[in-house]
């Protein structure tokens, strides 16, 4: 009882501590911008009418502050990437024309990020359907928000979390009519209908990354970025549902997941969050089924012999 009370206090204390830590961080660095860009409404001084006014914020310009302080670029000020002139409101209209840095502008040729292979990713991305159709208008940021990105597959060892994070990037468009239409000019095909040949679609979409079926696995890159056209998408069940599942060469080549694989043996890991038919056979059950088969065979033979004897 006493112990539980103490730990409750501790949890509450740590909770508030963490919270105020995140808050003070935001306050210090982004306060000016987030005053407006983290809320559904914003206020400003209208110098023509000479009074304070309140308006609705464009929902696509509202940033998720929790995801922001978790993202890989959390150390940045807003104005490290955006013009310092955004400090004034109304923002000047020419700021809309400001070019923003791409991932490669900062990460290209930088040895400290070599393990991510940014150049190779770009090369692969340029072969993808998205780049082929939309060219430079389809930037890396269409999938990876520079505000909130985390390399989840490297840092997490929870398969469901990794799959969820990864698929959210695709669903951001493929499940959002407005965003999809902004890029393509036409309605998005309904994902549920397109994939209705897949049994238990919901289960698959939460346990398998879209890229597992829509890219070619290549050994030299952690995440293949070449999204193939739909006629080259993977349909064969055994590619995954077999002892040497292709998932071992894609998702499960990450070290954080492999470490668990060494400890538990890869089959248990696959079985842990994503059940792979075929890699799951138990030797005892196999032996048992052979024995049952032999007994039934024996039964049939004995039965036939007796029938033959009786006929005679
Ligand atoms: C007084 C509220 C307010 C403040 C403070 C504010 N903004 Fe904005 N911002 C807006 C609104 C409203 C828009 C929507 C477009 C418009 O009205 O100009 C916007 C639009 C933007 C856009 C999108 C421009 C476009 O059309 O693509 C960016 C980027 C931006 N703000 C960055 C910032 C940054 C960086 C800061 C801090 C240095 C900041 N804003 C501070 C209200 C604000
Ligand atoms: C690491 C660079 C980087 C930092 C730091 C950054 N931004 Fe951005 N921001 C971008 C890029 C790139 C885009 C354009 C996204 C696109 O092309 O879809 C953008 C777009 C925006 C937009 C337009 C809406 C959108 O999502 O397209 C707003 C508003 C905005 N940023 C506000 C902010 C505020 C406020 C901060 C500080 C909390 C901030 N940004 C910090 C790179 C950055
Ligand atoms: C304005 C320059 C800039 C842009 C644009 C930018 N980054 Fe970064 N990024 C950095 C810097 C600097 C760091 C290191 C931050 C730190 O150590 O706190 C970083 C860190 C990272 C990390 C974490 C690396 C690690 O191992 O800790 C990843 C992953 C990453 N960026 C991916 C991206 C992606 C993907 C894009 C494009 C969507 C992008 N970055 C755009 C400058 C940038
Ligand atoms: C069509 C969507 C899409 C586009 C466009 C895209 N990516 Fe990715 N990217 C993904 C997905 C999905 C992942 C895997 C999920 C994850 O990071 O956990 C990923 C992973 C990454 C990683 C982490 C790889 C690792 O080793 O862990 C980096 C770095 C990256 N992308 C950079 C880029 C760069 C640079 C571009 C532009 C040249 C780009 N991406 C364009 C979808 C995309
Ligand atoms: C088990 C493999 C598999 C998974 C997982 C999967 N797909 Fe597919 N997808 C396919 C196949 C096969 C087709 C081709 C269907 C056809 O042409 O009839 C396809 C077609 C598509 C198309 C083409 C639509 C059209 O007709 O224009 C899109 C877009 C798409 N998938 C997006 C996604 C997204 C986003 C995800 C993740 C949420 C996903 N897929 C997950 C196998 C898969
Ligand atoms: C910014 C929006 C956006 C994002 C994010 C996005 N897509 Fe797409 N995607 C599109 C559009 C638009 C098309 C239609 C291209 C065309 O007109 O042929 C498309 C087409 C496709 C196709 C069908 C190609 C064909 O042959 O018709 C597949 C498959 C696909 N995307 C998969 C993905 C996957 C997987 C992801 C995540 C890794 C993803 N997309 C992320 C907008 C997006
Ligand atoms: C990209 C890899 C992949 C492909 C391709 C694939 N699956 Fe799956 N499938 C999975 C994963 C991962 C699960 C997760 C099961 C779990 O965790 O319960 C799954 C689950 C299932 C389940 C549910 C098993 C259960 O435990 O309830 C069935 C049934 C299934 N798949 C059948 C199919 C069939 C039939 C096809 C071909 C039309 C197919 N799958 C294609 C990866 C795949």
Instruction: Give pLDDT tens digits for 48-73.
Output: 999 999 999 999 999 999 999 999 99
Asked if residue 15 has pLDDT above 80, the reply is: no
The finding on whether 82 has its CB within 6 A of some atom of ligand 3 is no
Distance from the CA of 43 to the center of ligand 7, in angstroms? 51
- Is-contact 228 235, C-beta < 8 A? no
Range with the poorest average pLDDT among 143-152, 208-217, 240-249, 263-272: 263-272
Q: For the chain, what is the mean pLDDT?
A: 83
Distances (CA, A) of 55 to 40, 52, 58, 156: 9, 10, 10, 39
- Is-contact 253 289, C-beta < 8 A? no
Q: What does the pLDDT read at residue 257?
A: 73
Percentage of the chain exceeding pLDDT 90: 61
Distance CA 276, CA 270 (A): 6
- Summarize the confidence of residues 149-165 as an average pLDDT: 92
Q: Which of 173, 174, 191, 195 to mutate to test the pocket of ligand 5 (most atoms within 8 A of CB)?
A: 195
Asked if residue 261 has pLDDT above 60, the reply is: no
- Summarize the confidence of residues 202-231 as an average pLDDT: 92
Q: Identify the CA nearest to 163 among candidates 216, 200, 199, 202.
A: 202
The finding on whether 101 has its CB within 6 A of some atom of ligand 3 is yes
């Amino acid at each position: 009882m006493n112990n539980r009370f103490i730990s409750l206090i501790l949890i509450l204390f740590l909770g508030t501590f963490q919270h105020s830590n995140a808050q003070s961080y935001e306050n210090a660095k982004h306060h000016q911008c987030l005053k407006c860009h983290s809320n559904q409404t914003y206020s400003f001084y209208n110098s023509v009418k000479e009074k304070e006014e309140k308006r609705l914020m464009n929902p696509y310009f509202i940033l998720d502050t929790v995801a922001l302080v978790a993202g890989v670029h959390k150390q940045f000020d807003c104005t490290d990437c955006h013009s310092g002139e955004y400090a004034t409101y109304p923002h000047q209209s020419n700021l809309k024309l400001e070019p923003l840095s791409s991932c490669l502008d900062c990460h290209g040729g930088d040895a400290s990020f070599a393990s991510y292979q940014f150049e190779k990713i770009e090369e692969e991305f340029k072969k993808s359907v998205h780049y082929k159709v939309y060219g430079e208008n389809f930037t890396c940021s269409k999938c990876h928000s520079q505000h909130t990105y985390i390399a989840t597959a490297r840092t997490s060892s929870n398969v469901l979390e990794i799959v969820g994070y990864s698929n959210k990037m695709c669903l951001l468009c493929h499940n959002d009519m407005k965003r999809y239409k902004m890029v393509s000019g036409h309605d998005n095909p309904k994902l549920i209908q397109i994939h209705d040949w897949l049994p238990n679609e919901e289960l698959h979409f939460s346990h398998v990354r879209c890229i597992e079926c829509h890219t070619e696995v290549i050994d030299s890159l952690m995440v293949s970025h070449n999204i193939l056209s739909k006629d080259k998408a993977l349909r064969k069940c055994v590619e995954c549902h077999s002892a040497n599942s292709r998932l071992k060469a894609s998702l499960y080549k990450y070290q954080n997941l492999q470490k668990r694989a060494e400890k538990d043996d890869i089959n248990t890991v696959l079985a842990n969050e994503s059940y792979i038919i075929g890699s799951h056979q138990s030797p005892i059950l196999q032996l048992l089924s052979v024995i049952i088969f032999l007994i039934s065979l024996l039964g049939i033979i004995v039965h036939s012999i007796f029938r033959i004897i009786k006929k005679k």
